[in-house]
Amino acid sequence: MSSVMWFRRDLRVRDNPALLAALEDGPVTALFVVDPVIWASAGAARRAWLAANVLDLAERIPLTIQHGDPREVVPRVADGRRVHVAAETTPYGRRRDDALGEKVELVATGSPYAVGPGLVRNGSGDPYQVFTAFARAWREHGWPEPAHTPRSPDIEQGDSHQRALDLLHQAVEDAPFDLPGAGEDAAWRRWRTFRDDGLDAYPTERNRPDHDGTSRLSPYLHLGVLHPRSLLAEVDTRSTYADEIAWREFYADVLWHTPSSAWRDLKPALGGMRYDDPEDAIEAWRTGTTGFPIVDAGMRQLSHTGWMHNRVRMITASFLTKDLHVWWPVGARHFLDLLIDGDVASNNHGWQWVAGTGTDASPYFRVFNPITQGLKFDPQGDYVRRWVPELEHLPGKTAHEPWKSDVGYERDYPLRIVDHADERREALERYQAVRG
């Protein structure tokens, strides 16, 4: 009996348990559907990144590429056959799969995570609320060994939809900047280079945006071009690196249990908080023209590459929420638009963590100081100079404080749009008002 393998956030052949399960059923039709809802919600860079990885997969295996609402397309292609998938865990994906489950036999094997969201629970059967306890239980729970999928699986050639192919090729052509190499070979190369040359120094280097000290695998992990289980099989599971993978799993677990936290405060405690909508200041934040060098460098790295260093994601998110007093979904939406690793669980809970509305670790009263953060994590100013050409002429750490230099503004770098000390005070007053 033949079946369909419907690829979604698992655009790979290696270590793919759902594909393995499909192959056990006999000949397989490999399907990818360009879903107009997902397509329309992504910016040009994210579309290009998705398209490049789908097209890479299509060079590896005969992929049938269709366009349209999966709830219509998948039953048509399946034509009574079973449909294998990796379980989808986002609110949209779950709703879509629930609806589809009424029309086709959907068989889920594995998920985009080492441990499927919802499986790690405390002694009372409840989900964990904080990361440290989750990570401990997650390690104890454990995960299966990587699956040995054949390199050249037996897949039938199907008919692709010309409109779908055109959309994908056009998206790659329209990429607003150079993207990382797409596909699983590129992902594995990136991983091996990092594993051999970067992993040992990772605990100290990971906070330095001026160094290339992190794995840069998030765009691949997001689309399942590489599975976290494959990485965990090659690292010490007590390592800092495994901890970071655990954050990704934690946020997916939080979203699984509380789908509304994608766009609403996870904790109601700050429900009465007063927020502002300063249009010009938000635009300055988006375009990297706030006058705070590390914030501007980060926002420009984002718009020029579709990626931003984690430390700077925290600093820029704090600036929007605590210095400009803007509700976090405004920033989360902008990040999701531009990030090629844009992931509703990691992004939106990362924002909630910074805003103080999410998982416990970061209370609202912790306000990042964008100047001291810059001086600490980019001590020579190299990161700032790389992304903000108006500050290129300022040597060393002076790039972080152009206001202290006689020539700080001679290349038209903008003045600071707010006074950090005043806004910090304001943020704390608003916090006091709702916390009493």
Tell me the binding residues for FAD: 202, 214-218, 241, 244-251, 341-343
Q: Which long-range contacts (CB under 8 A, 24 or more apart) does 158-165 make?
A: 158/29, 158/30, 158/31, 158/62, 158/64, 158/77, 159/64, 160/63, 160/64, 160/65, 160/66, 161/65, 161/66, 161/67, 161/68, 163/67, 164/33, 164/34, 164/65, 164/66, 164/67, 165/65
Whichever of 100 and 225 has its CB closer to ligand FAD, that residue is: 225
Residues at the interface with ligand FAD (CB under 6 A): 206, 214-218, 221-222, 244-245, 247-248, 251, 310, 313-314, 317, 335, 339, 341-343, 346-347, 350-351, 354
CB-nearer residue toward ligand FAD: 216 or 376: 216
Taking each helix axis as running N to C, give the angle between helix 344-355 and helix 240-257, from 0 to 180 degrees, rounded to the nearest 10: 90
> DSSP of 215-261, one letter per residue?
---HHHHHHTSS-HHHHHTTS-TTSHHHHHHHHHHHHHHHHHH-GGG
For the chain, state the CA radius of gyration: 23
Contact 251, 350 (CB under 8 A): yes
Residues 168 and 162: their CA atoms lie apart, in Å, by 10
- Closest by Cα among 322, 346, 54 to 172: 54
Where does residue 415 rank: exposed (0-12), middle (13-18), buried (19+ CB within 10 A)?
exposed
CB of 14 or CB of 81, closer to ligand FAD = 14
Per the CB < 8 A criterion, the answer to whether 209 and 383 are in contact is yes
Bridge partners of 7? 32
Which is nearer to ligand FAD, 232 or 417 (by Cβ)?
232
What span, in angstroms and rounded, lies between the C-alpha atoms of 246 and 131? 8
> Which two three-digit tokens encode residue 131?
């990361």
Nearest to ligand FAD of 244, 382 (CB atom): 244
Looking at beta carbons only, is 342 or 402 nearer to ligand FAD?
342
> Which is closer to ligand FAD, CB of 290 or CB of 347?
347
What is the distance between the alpha carbons of residues 322 and 28, in angstroms, rounded to a whole number? 52
Known binding-site residues equal 202, 214-218, 241, 244-251, 341-343
Name the residue with the smallest CB distance to ligand FAD: 350
